[in-house]
């Protein structure tokens, strides 16, 4: 039985009764197979699993006063069915009032320069909202491990850095990107795509896969022509395509072990992000 906690008091009492190690999976709901993979990994590595479902206004434009926040897919009933099937112990689904009783908080955790590049350049303040809410969740739940998708590579790098810089006593566990059969990375925002827009969006994973193939073959990346391919694709607007170091998010000139191709596009009014490791990590 999954316990649903709507308040912080309910969460604290549910967490207090958990035994053994605790894995946390923070989400914004509208759960899909990508979230499912994080939950399965958390269940495999911990005695208990807590999933949070909270569409955090702080990480949206104008602190949530925007269409992206208002239109963000929400379906708690379907989410609860899914987590129940996955054997999740506790779901924390608070209201905004519960998380931020005084409105916008006074004290934030700032993501710093790592949060100002790439996604952060397009969405100013986004990562400060992410670090602030994730720090609150870590405080409230005190998990042994927390699970983040490589789909949001910049978020993962910033959270890893936050845990190191602020000495949070937990391990961050990355989870590889889960894709649909057509290759598009699973995302709650995919619900906004018409079949035609979804088809058009496939140029994103295709372009990243081509970069990966060129890197694996030791050929020049031809980044400019990859950008031109995205810019010229029907229905697509390119935000960025960069090669960065996965841990620092700084641009890299050479394709080494940590090199990551990261990209964001707009298709049919929806912003989509994706990324690909250019070489398999050294083991």
Q: Based on the shown chain and the rule CB under 6 A, indicate whether residue 57 belongs to the binding site for ligand AMP.
A: no
Annotated catalytic residue 35: yes
**DSSP tag of 262:** E
The 138-177 contact track toward ligand AMP, x by CB under 6 A, reads ----------xx-xx----------------------x-x
Using the minimum distance from each CB to ligand AMP, give the nearer residue, 218 or 280: 280
User: Coil, strand, or helix at residue 192?
Assistant: helix
Using the minimum distance from each CB to ligand AMP, give the nearer residue, 181 or 219: 181
Q: Based on the shown chain and the rule CB under 6 A, indicate whether residue 233 belongs to the binding site for ligand AMP.
A: no
Q: Which stretch binds ligand AMP (CB under 6 A): 34-42, 64-72, 94-102, 217-225?
A: 34-42
Q: Which residues contact 260 (CB under 8 A, 6 or more apart)?
A: 153, 243, 244, 245, 246, 275, 276, 277, 278
* Cβ contact 141:15 at 8 Å: yes
Q: Based on the shown chain and the rule CB under 6 A, indicate whether residue 35 belongs to the binding site for ligand AMP.
A: yes
Q: Which stretch binds ligand AMP (CB under 6 A): 35-43, 160-168, 205-213, 233-241?
A: 35-43
Q: Which of residues 37-56 bind ligand AMP (CB under 6 A)?
A: 37-38
Could you tell me how many residues of this chain bind ligand AMP (CB under 6 A)? 17
User: Coil, strand, or helix at residue 63?
Assistant: helix
Q: Which of residues 84-113 bind ligand AMP (CB under 6 A)?
A: none
The reply, when asked if residue 31 is annotated as ligand binding, is yes
Q: Which stretch binds ligand AMP (CB under 6 A): 2-10, 28-36, 112-120, 262-270?
A: 28-36
* Cβ contact 189:271 at 8 Å: yes
C-alpha distances in angstroms, 205 versus 134, 176, 188, 226? Answer: 28, 14, 17, 12
Q: Which stretch binds ligand AMP (CB under 6 A): 95-103, 180-188, 192-200, 257-265?
A: 180-188
- Strands 48-53 and 22-27, bridge-based pairing: parallel
The 186-205 contact track toward ligand AMP, x by CB under 6 A, reads xxx-----------------
Q: How far is the CB of 217 from ligand AMP (least distance, A)?
A: 26
* Cβ contact 113:120 at 8 Å: no
The reply, when asked if residue 128 is annotated as ligand binding, is no
User: Coil, strand, or helix at residue 224?
Assistant: helix
* Cβ contact 51:146 at 8 Å: no
| Strand extents, DSSP E, the chain | 3-5, 22-27, 48-53, 90-92, 145-149, 171-175, 236-245, 259-267, 270-277
Residues that bind ligand AMP (CB under 6 A): 27-28, 34-35, 37-38, 148-149, 151-152, 175, 177-178, 185-188
Residues forming the active site:
35
The annotated binding site is made up of: 28-35, 59, 149-152, 155, 178, 186-189
């Amino acid at each position: 039985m999954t316990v649903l906690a709507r308040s912080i008091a309910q969460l604290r009492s549910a967490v207090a009764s958990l035994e053994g190690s605790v894995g946390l999976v923070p989400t914004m709901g509208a759960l899909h197979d990508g979230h499912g993979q994080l939950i399965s990994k958390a269940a495999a590595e911990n005695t208990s699993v807590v999933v949070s479902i909270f569409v955090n206004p702080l990480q949206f434009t104008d602190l949530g006063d925007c269409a992206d926040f208002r239109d963000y897919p929400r379906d708690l009933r379907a989410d609860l069915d899914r987590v129940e099937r996955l054997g999740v112990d506790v779901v924390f689904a608070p209201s905004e009032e519960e998380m931020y009783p005084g409105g916008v908080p006074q004290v934030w955790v700032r993501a710093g320069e790592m949060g100002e590049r790439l996604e952060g350049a397009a969405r100013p303040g986004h990562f400060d909202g992410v670090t602030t809410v994730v720090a609150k969740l870590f405080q409230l739940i005190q998990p042994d491990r927390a699970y983040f998708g490589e789909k949001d590579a910049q978020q993962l790098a910033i959270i890893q850095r936050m845990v190191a810089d602020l000495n949070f006593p937990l391990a961050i566990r990355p989870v590889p990107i889960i894709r649909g059969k057509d290759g598009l990375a699973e995302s709650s925002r995919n619900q906004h795509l018409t079949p035609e827009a979804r088809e058009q969006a496939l140029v994103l994973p295709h372009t990243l896969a081509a970069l990966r193939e060129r890197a694996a073959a030791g050929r020049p990346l031809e980044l400019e022509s990859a950008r031109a391919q995205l810019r010229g694709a029907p229905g697509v607007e390119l935000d960025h395509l960069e090669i960065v170091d996965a841990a620092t998010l700084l641009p890299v000139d050479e394709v080494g072990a940590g090199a990551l191709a990261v990209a964001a596009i707009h298709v049919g009014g929806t912003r989509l992000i994706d990324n690909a490791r250019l070489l398999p990590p050294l083991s």
